[in-house]
Amino acid sequence: MTTSIGNARLRAARQSLGLRSQAALADAVNETARTIGLRLAVTARTVRRWESASPPWPHPEHAAALEQLFQRPVADLGFTPPWSEPDSAEVRDQVHQSDFPPSTARPRIRTITSTLPASVATDYAAITSAHRRLYWLAMST
């Protein structure tokens, strides 16, 4: 009978920081997020999903907090990017010392050619910035 050990990389990284429970990791991620200016609420249930046999790719804010907390990319913590081919379960679940050095590897970015005018990027940035200001203003009231 084969039992799944789940996301052993994240579990090992959590334990290496002295975080003995999933709730402790949730609290640490929340605190780290606050220190880098993010508003999020990670629960033990979220950590349980991250430590499962097939963890979902974390939301961008969660990924930023995890990377800050562990000082390594989330891909090094046992998460498989949805835009890449998944590793075999055996390889992904095995934990080796070489799995944990800090990595500078980043996902490849596709280049998309477009015939849109250059002002579109400036307009998009202005609208996005205004939306964020309005969102956080509404959240603070």
The values of phi and psi at residue 42, to 5°, are -90, 135
Q: How do the domains of the chain map onto residue ranges?
A: 8-101
Q: What is the mean pLDDT of residues 66-94?
A: 76
Render pLDDT for 123-137 as a digit per residue (tens, 0 to 9).
Answer: 888 888 888 888 887
Q: Is the pLDDT of residue 34 over 90?
A: yes
Closest to 5 measured CA to CA, from 63, 51, 65:
51
Please state, in angstroms and as integers, the Cα–Cα distance from residue 89 to each residue in 11, 12, 80, 85, 118, following that order.
16, 17, 11, 12, 44
Q: What is the mean pLDDT of residues 67-77?
A: 94
C-alpha angle with apex 43: 92 to 107, nearest 5 degrees? 40
Percent of the chain topping pLDDT 70: 72
Render pLDDT for 88-108 as a digit per residue (tens, 0 to 9).
Answer: 454 445 555 455 555 555 555
Q: Do 99 and 73 contact (CB within 8 A), yes or no?
A: no
Angle between helix axes 8-16 and 22-35 (nearest 10 degrees) is 70
